Amino acid sequence: MSVGPSRDTISWETSDSSNVAQIEMTQPTTSAGFPSIRLRRLRSNPRLRDLVRETELNPRDFILPLFVRHGQNQRVPIRSMPGHDQMTVDHLPREIDEIASLGIPAVILFGIPEHKDAVGSDAYAANGVIQQAVRAIKATRSDVLVMTDVCFCEFTDHGHCGIVNDKHGHADVDNDATLEILVKEAVAQCLAGADLIAPSGMMDGMIAALRSGLDTAGFENIPIMSYAAKYASAFYGPFRDAAESAPQFGDRRSYQMDPANAAEALREVALDVAEGADILMVKPALSYLDVIRRVKQAHPEIPLAAYNVSGEFSMVKAAAANGWIDEQRITLEILTSIKRAGADMILTYFAKDAAKWLA
């Protein structure tokens, strides 16, 4: 059969970030009018599909969130997050061994303290629940990275992410007063042995304050992963049950971002880069894949994390429990799409399941 390029030109629009380009391509056809470029050729064989795959998931990409509870010898199942428990510190060594054996390199800790107060003092107490947890994990497996969430919502009696006052005529989180206790919290976590801190409170100037506070305390080598673009999202619902951290009045819209905004995320991220963030994060992940992509394009040189949050997890679990979806395929497809969008690492409650499926 003779082959010759025809003059049929196909064109389409591609929209990537703000660039809209017209791409023109000539589709060569055989003289009989059939396509001579056939993309299906590379899909015909599973070995070939492996060779041309662009995005590969690996348990090494995962960071598993853990909920550490005050008290002893308790594992309290989290109703809305099947397979996840609040666990007391004594349960951590066994849990960490399992996590390490699955090839998951890191955990991020959230705490449920015995006592909450207006300033969340358990968060920076030398023997606070998180500090105890960090020491227990590091004593068991020094090779598992221990990341700590730096925030106050789990530790305050009002459930907000910092110190609340009403100096502006209505109750709101006081940005600059909160920066001071965020530094105290991060230093306490580092003194306990945290390997990386992850501030999630969306306070302005948070990264600069923490960087200089850590450096002053001698922790200049501890990296900061900033929850740089964190949205005021309904997808955090199950987490607030898990961490017992729902705000007791109002909501978090005066500090977390409006889901409608993406350009603003680039400003948040650029500020955090300027202030010295080592790793950036977009949160949640699935409804914000466009933000992940734009942040990666704006800062390709900086490692990017995405937080596949509690609601994103629980929806899959609920549908799977009803037999409506294929849990394994859906989960791996979701995690792959987060990486494909541009994330280098993923905080996910699916970490253990996915690591087993990938093994």
Residue 356: active-site member: no
Please pick, from the candidates 68, 106, 144, 161, the single residue that binds ligand PBG as defined by CB under 6 A: 161
Residue 283: active-site member: yes
**What's the rounded Cα separation, in Å, for the pair 130 and 68?**
7
Q: Which residue is nearest to ligand PBG (CB)?
A: 239
**What's the rounded Cα separation, in Å, for the pair 128 and 70?**
9
Catalytic residue chosen out of the listed positions 230, 317, 339, 352: 230
Taking the least distance from each CB to ligand PBG, the nearer of 132 and 308 is: 308
**What's the rounded Cα separation, in Å, for the pair 278 and 275?**
10
Smallest gap, in angstroms, from Cβ of residue 227 to ligand PBG?
A: 7
Under the criterion CB under 6 A, does residue 350 sit at the interface with ligand PBG? Answer: no
Judged by CB under 6 A, the stretch of 36-44, 115-123, 149-157, 179-187 that binds ligand PBG is 149-157
Under the criterion CB under 6 A, does residue 309 sit at the interface with ligand PBG? Answer: yes
* 239 sits in which H/E element: helix 237-242
First to last CA, the chain: 46
Q: Decide: residue 103, CB within 10 A, 0-12 exposed, 13-18 middle, 19+ buried.
A: middle
Q: Is 83 helix (H, G, I), strand (E, B) or coil?
A: coil
Q: Are 210 and 150 in contact (CB under 8 A)?
A: yes
Distances (CA, A) of 201 to 163, 204, 207, 241, 254: 11, 9, 11, 18, 11
Rule CB under 6 A: which of 230-289 touch ligand PBG?
A: 236, 239-240
Please pick, from the candidates 131, 178, 310, 314, the single residue that binds ligand PBG as defined by CB under 6 A: 310
Query: Peptide bond before 199: cis, by omega within 30 degrees of 0?
Result: no
x/- track of binding to ligand PBG for residues 54-83 (CB under 6 A): ------------------------------
Smallest gap, in angstroms, from Cβ of residue 246 to ligand PBG?
A: 8
Tell me the residue type at 211.
Answer: R
Under the criterion CB under 6 A, does residue 200 sit at the interface with ligand PBG? Answer: yes
Under the criterion CB under 6 A, does residue 151 sit at the interface with ligand PBG? Answer: yes
Taking the least distance from each CB to ligand PBG, the nearer of 192 and 346 is: 346
Residues of this chain that bind ligand PBG (CB under 6 A): 149, 151, 153, 161, 200, 236, 239-240, 309-310
